[in-house]
Structure 1
Amino acid sequence: MELKEKVAYIKGLMEGMEYDVSTKEGKLMAAVVETLDMMAAKVEEIDTDVDQLFDEVDAVSEDLEDVEDYLFDDEDEDDEDYADEYEAGLYEITCPNCGEVVCVDEDMLASDDLTCPSCGTKFEVDFSEDDADSEEAGGAEEKE
């Protein structure tokens, strides 16, 4: 039984018991039943609003899911592209002038014409030293 139906049942009981609404007790019972009726109507209105809000939230959630799919769906493809670049051999080189770390590939290393994008200084990488010495001197370090 719904709340509104229960209030109607109580109202019917009160009328069936022939409460005299001109007495103090009758006025009190009538006021209580009227208040219950108003509360039941308000609860019913709130239930309707909540149902509507649930529907709207579901619709917004579905729309957001579509937007996320549109924006973030290609992340896997991007990761595959980056994996190919790392497989090709990227190196981090520290600029001897400004200390900026520059990422270069094997083709750029072979060109002997490296330019720091931050300060514009041209520099060469000395491969004659072993890896430990070249890292300390700002040489190339393979990025895995």
Structure 2
Amino acid sequence: MDELRERIAYLQGLAEGLKLEEGKDEARILSQVIDILADLADELEDLQVALEDLEDYVDSFDDEFFEDDEDIDDEDDEIEDDDFCCCEEDDIDYVEVECPQCHDIICFESDIVDDEDIIEVTCPNCNKVVFVNDGSMPLPEGYQKRDDEESRDD
């Protein structure tokens, strides 16, 4: 920043050394350009100070959250993937389908199978379509399509 201010001062000295008449247009334009450069240097310095303050502020948040994140990571390491299944909810029936591409198990609500609208279920990892309820794909293993009477009772 100091170098920029020195260069602006140098320009001011050069302009004064030209000994342009103060009333002429060239002198006024050159004077205004140099004043604008000085104002820009002031604004740039203010922005630089504000940026440094903001960086300090963000770093303080980052440090706080990073400490919390380490605690969470430690807890996650203790939980095995096999111990958790999204299909174990009490109130909602889920259907499990294995993705043919990445072999992840995808869980979705069983109501999707019988829904009147055509719904595609895609794998969140590889975006492969794993089930479409339009009859073009076989029903998931262990699932039987509801009869019309059962659907009306629900």
TM-score, L = length of structure 1:
0.50
* Structure with more relative contact order (C-alpha pairs < 8 Å, separation 6 or more): 1
Of Structure 1 and Structure 2, the greater helix share is in 1
